[in-house]
Structure 1
Amino acid sequence: MHPTYELTEAGDRYFDGLADKFSRSLYQAPRGELRLAMLDYLLPQMLRLQTQPVLDIGGGLGQLSAWLAKRGHAVTMAEPSQDMLEHAKAWHAERSHQGDWLPEQLRYLTAPLQALPAQAPGPWPLITCHAVLEWLGDPQQALHILASLLAPGGQLSLMVFNRDALRFSNVVKGNLQKALGDQLEGKGKRQRLTPISPVTHHDISLWAQECGLIMESVAGIRIFQDYLRQPPAKDIDQAALLALEKQYCRQDPHWRLGRYLLYTFTKPEADV
């Protein structure tokens, strides 16, 4: 029997009590490993990483905050789930004892995205917000908030769950009526990990333009993996899959069917 979850009054989904499920389902599985490997490959290409302070929004289990701290950034990690945040703190503390970074490089806020204009207004030279918007009742409003937190000339690294890829995946699985009716949102109270607000590239492009953000680059993450009939069993095949993902993640049309879309946006410099 599956445990249940509740949405907030704003229609957002948080993940209290799901740290272990997230760890098992996403990060101790090939899809999670590939996602992290692709971020490690793409972020240095897509961002100007100059050890500037970072606001990591919806930091989850803390992988991205750790990646940034290891590269010299002072990171403020905001996460609404106390359960997830405690998991991240414990893991970060263990890693800091190993000398991967200094403890003071990481600061934590138990806060949803909507509370950050009051609790962490910045403005921030670099904001990361990965796999968050698709769990919110109003992702369009969330992008406006992100833009308001960003410093002029600053960068936003945004990763979202791709509605078009979800549709394609449902067709591949034989869920034809679900795809035809565009009934793709995760619903019900079971602890399933299908997002409640998957978005399209068109959505993000339009909303970013409304916010005055400039799209600098885009890439697809897991553009092939989710459509394989059989996952690669041998190390040589896993290496080949990763090589394919790296080779085509920024090439049209392949990036458009990534399970996740990774963007870099910049906020224009203020007029003098």
Structure 2
Amino acid sequence: MARQLDEQITARFAVGRRLRVLDVGPGQGTQALRLARAGHQVTGLESDPAMLDALRTALAVEPEGIRERVSLIAGDGRETGRHFGPGSFDLVLCHGVLMYMPEPDPMLAALARVLAPGGLLSLLVRNADALAMRPGLLGDWPGALDAFGSATYTNRIGLDVRADRREAVTATLNGLGTPVHTWYGVRVLTDAAPNDAPVPADLEPLLAAEEQAGRTDPYRAVAALLHLCGVRA
């Protein structure tokens, strides 16, 4: 995921340019802190108080220069108009958030609104066209049968959430003037691994295989997650 995002940043922006980044739903701050360490100015917009506290804790141990590049705001990504003007950001991230929204369009419209012309929108969504893959690979045949044609699923922490179809999100972003230029699969080969699976001593072959599968048809189409990259017209 990080490699894919870096590839898109390199393709869209001049080398050395300091970007204005909005991370909607940054969670524990993996991407927000990584981008701040790279020199970018990052704003995290988080609606979950516990996640916001965790990110503040993580940020507190960073060097002062990095802390100064990160701003944290309590708020809902669907209400960016309350906090930011149109075109405020060069890069907008919304990773693993859309599945918790009752429907995607209000969030997508809010994200597109704050994206500057030529800016990059990075979305990570659950793939509704592949919901039968995980239960099928785990031998849960009733679960696999129920997943066909469904747009909802139970995630790893037991919550009933929603998935998106690539064609539908692409059509919405086209209508918002932020067409999808590139898309990848994420967790193509590893989605059925248990949460407590040991990390291989040599992680690079696993990452390389996942990276290749996420770029290659037909594998990327059955990924658990889709990474969609749109560019503001």
Question: Helix, strand or coil for the counterpart of 2:43?
Answer: strand
**1:38-73 alpha-carbon deviations (Å, 9 max, x no partner):** x23211112235321111101111111101101111
> Residue in 2 aligned with 1:121?
85
Question: Helix, strand or coil for the counterpart of 2:230?
Answer: strand
Q: 1:94 to 1:178 in 2, by over 3 A?
A: same
Q: 1:164 to 1:114 in 2, by over 3 A?
A: same
Tell me how far 1:253 sits from its aligned partner. 1.1
Q: Which runs of 5+ in 2 are unaligned?
A: none
> Residue in 2 aligned with 1:110?
74
The structure that is helix-richer by fraction is 1
Identity %: 26
Q: Is 1:235 aligned with 2:225?
A: no
The normalised TM-score by structure 2 is 0.86
> Residue in 2 aligned with 1:40?
2
Correspondences of 1:1-272 after superposition (within 5 Å): 39-47=1-9, 48=12, 50-96=17-63, 101-123=65-87, 124-182=89-147, 183=150, 185-186=152-153, 192-194=157-159, 196-227=161-192, 234-236=200-202, 238-268=203-233
Q: 1:52 to 1:106 in 2, by over 3 A?
A: same
Partners of 2:76 and 2:192 lie apart in 1 by 33
- Judge conservation of contact 1:134–1:195 (CA < 8 Å) in 2: no
Partners of 2:85 and 2:140 lie apart in 1 by 43
Comparing 212-221 with 160-169, greater Cα deviation is found at 160-169
- Judge conservation of contact 1:139–1:197 (CA < 8 Å) in 2: no
Question: Helix, strand or coil for the counterpart of 1:102?
Answer: helix
Letter in 1 for 2:175: E
Question: Helix, strand or coil for the counterpart of 2:59?
Answer: helix
> Residue in 2 aligned with 1:33?
none
Question: Helix, strand or coil for the counterpart of 1:224?
Answer: coil
Question: Helix, strand or coil for the counterpart of 2:68?
Answer: helix
Question: Helix, strand or coil for the counterpart of 1:206?
Answer: helix
Partners of 1:79 and 1:211 lie apart in 2 by 23
